[in-house]
Amino acid sequence: MRFAVLGVQIDAVTLVEAVRIAEGFIAAGGPHLVATANAEMVMAAGQDAALKSVLDGADLVVPDGAGVVWAARHLGHHVPERVAGFDLTQALLARAAETGWRVYFFGAAPGIAARASEAAAARWPGLTVAGVRHGYFIPAEAAAIVDAIKASRPDILLAALGVPKQEKWLAAHAAELAVPLAMGVGGTFDVMAGVAGRAPLWMQRAGLEWLYRLSREPRRIGRMMALPRFVLKVLAAKKH
């Protein structure tokens, strides 16, 4: 079941359903793109036609973020739950350890992807790490990065380059990479590596994860001004 929030198509799936759909992607073979849509991403797509077209072409867009879930319900759609990109990543890693899927960790500052992959391998014994590579590179290095990822034959490619860079990069190289499941994961590696924290559970449940991130990284305020604008736009959209 797909619904639209300010023109961005989102799938009304639970975490468990998202993992099942991911299994289908991997069984079918690549490429497939999974995106995790929050209010910031929806607002960015409104001003960035390239990002919008990547999201339009994505195979699965999960409702990541309290704002998107609120908006969907406000607009009259049934959305069972929020599916945070971090949680979906952890669920896929757990499943990968059981099934033998190969996972490539691409992105974040030097050393972080490796630490995130080590933390994952320690938590889920049997996890096959296809490769790791940090996320700071010049355009001329892209071809070598694509070759290295391809050569490692991953079933899952996690890209932590931030929004919208990760979505655009994955879409631009999708055909060549042909990874069964590629997903942008934002700050997930930083949390897994222990250099960033997640909001306490009560804040996540209250839909206040954004406030926690803002308190940790006040420089996000500019980006986060998208949130009140998002709310106003959704309220206006319902009136029409």
User: Which residues are at the interface with ligand UDP (CB under 6 A)?
Assistant: 107-109, 135-136, 160-163, 165, 186-187, 189-190
Nearer Cβ to ligand UDP (98/141): 141
How far apart, in whole angstroms, are the C-alpha atoms of residue 221 and residue 233?
19
Environment class of residue 110 by beta-carbon count within 10 Å: exposed (0-12), middle (13-18) or buried (19+)? exposed
Q: How far is the CB of 222 from ligand UDP (least distance, A)?
A: 12
Give the residue carrying structure tokens 């001004």.
Answer: 225
Nearer Cβ to ligand UDP (26/85): 85
Q: Which residue is nearest to ligand UDP (CB)?
A: 135
Q: How far is the CB of 37 from ligand UDP (least distance, A)?
A: 11
Of 162, 156, 158, 228, nearest in space to 196 by CA: 162
Nearer Cβ to ligand UDP (30/187): 187
Q: CA 172, 10, 23 angle in degrees (round to 5)?
A: 70
Environment class of residue 143 by beta-carbon count within 10 Å: exposed (0-12), middle (13-18) or buried (19+)? exposed
Nearer Cβ to ligand UDP (80/162): 162
103 DSSP β-pair partners: 129, 156
And the tokens for 16? Answer: 């468990």
How far apart, in whole angstroms, are the C-alpha atoms of residue 83 and residue 221?
24
Q: How far is the CB of 161 from ligand UDP (least distance, A)?
A: 4
Nearer Cβ to ligand UDP (156/192): 192
Nearer Cβ to ligand UDP (12/44): 44
Provide the CA 145 distance to its chain's centre, in angstroms.
20
How far apart, in whole angstroms, are the C-alpha atoms of residue 39 and residue 3?
14
Q: How far is the CB of 112 from ligand UDP (least distance, A)?
A: 6
Give the residue carrying structure tokens 């960790």.
Answer: 105
Q: How far is the CB of 22 from ligand UDP (least distance, A)?
A: 19
Q: How far is the CB of 163 from ligand UDP (least distance, A)?
A: 4
